[in-house]
């Protein structure tokens, strides 16, 4: 299916959590001189305009990045994320939001590399346009990211951050995510894998973190964040989560510091909450 486009959801609470964590994963790679790869299995359009028709259909960014832009006090990791978003805008008003690939590019050095996969033809075209001047460091393929990931692991550098962020349009995506991560660990056990998933009233979504945990990775972190109570009819996304395999050892303490603030700033009702579990030997 090709109906999903992230432009309709850009900058929402799920993007906030995902990109805040992504920055921490990438910055950890910069602590070593050895180059790394950033791989995005479902890269989207790369960059987004908050004043577009798509972004304003539901204006989800208003209750996401919009609230953080208006906040006065916040922990350092959130402030760093907000400042990065502002850096993509020349004026005080924030009109553009960088997607995961653009955020990753801000953390890349001359010898680091990026591999982006996007199946939707419109977004793949936008993605190529967004990175037209980065042909040396960035390679883009219009391809289904699950299968494409297998073809590039392990990367030559033996260091990588892999973001697996599918739209979950169909229930089978949950099964394929688990199979993809299992295969990736067999090919490249040392990579850092970040799996984003929606918190919705579906059994497959609820079971995904547990199924990823059964893959047996020695080092992992699971963080989730609800902004509101689930809808009575079970429709809609009330939160999101990230399951990270081989996370930086510093990540748990950073999230313990920032998650209470995210709950405070992004809560849409009094059911907002977060959870954080990890095992990092």
Catalytic residues: 165
Beta bridge partners of 222: 243, 277
Closest CA to 159 of 262, 5, 32: 32
Q: DSSP letters of 38-76?
A: EEESS-TTSEEETTSTTHHHH-GGGGTHHHHHH-S---H
For the chain, counts of helices (H) and of strands (E): 10, 10
Q: Is the sign of the CA dihedral 165, 78, 222, 197 positive or negative?
A: negative
Residues 6+ apart with CB under 8 A from 30: 107, 109
Both tokens assigned to 176? 């394929």
CA 139 to chain centre: 19
């Amino acid at each position: 299916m090709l109906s999903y486009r992230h432009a309709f959801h850009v900058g929402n609470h799920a993007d906030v959590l995902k990109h805040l964590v992504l920055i921490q994963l990438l910055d950890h790679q910069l602590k070593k001189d050895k180059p790394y790869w950033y791989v995005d299995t479902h890269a989207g359009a790369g960059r987004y305009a908050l004043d577009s028709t798509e972004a304003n259909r539901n204006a989800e960014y208003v209750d996401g990045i919009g609230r953080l832009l208006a906040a006065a006090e916040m922990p350092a990791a959130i402030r760093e994320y907000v400042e990065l978003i502002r850096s993509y805008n020349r004026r005080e008003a924030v009109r553009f939001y960088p997607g995961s690939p653009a955020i990753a590019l801000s953390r890349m050095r001359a010898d680091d590399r990026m591999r982006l996969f996007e199946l939707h033809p419109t977004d793949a075209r936008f993605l190529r346009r967004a990175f037209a001047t980065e042909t040396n460091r960035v390679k883009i393929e219009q391809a289904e990211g699950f299968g494409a990931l297998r073809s590039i692991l392990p990367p030559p550098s033996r260091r990588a951050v892999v973001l697996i962020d599918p739209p979950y349009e169909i229930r089978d995506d949950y099964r394929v995510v688990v199979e993809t991560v299992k295969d990736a660990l067999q090919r490249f056990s040392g990579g850092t894998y970040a799996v984003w998933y929606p918190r919705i009233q579906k059994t497959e979504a609820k079971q995904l973190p547990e199924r990823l945990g059964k893959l047996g990775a020695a080092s992992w972190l699971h963080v989730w964040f609800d902004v509101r109570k689930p809808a009575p009819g079970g429709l809609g996304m009330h939160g999101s989560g990230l399951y990270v395999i081989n996370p930086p050892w510093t990540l748990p303490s950073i999230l313990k510091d920032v998650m209470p603030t995210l709950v405070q700033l992004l809560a849409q009702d009094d059911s907002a909450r977060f959870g954080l579990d990890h095992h990092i030997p």
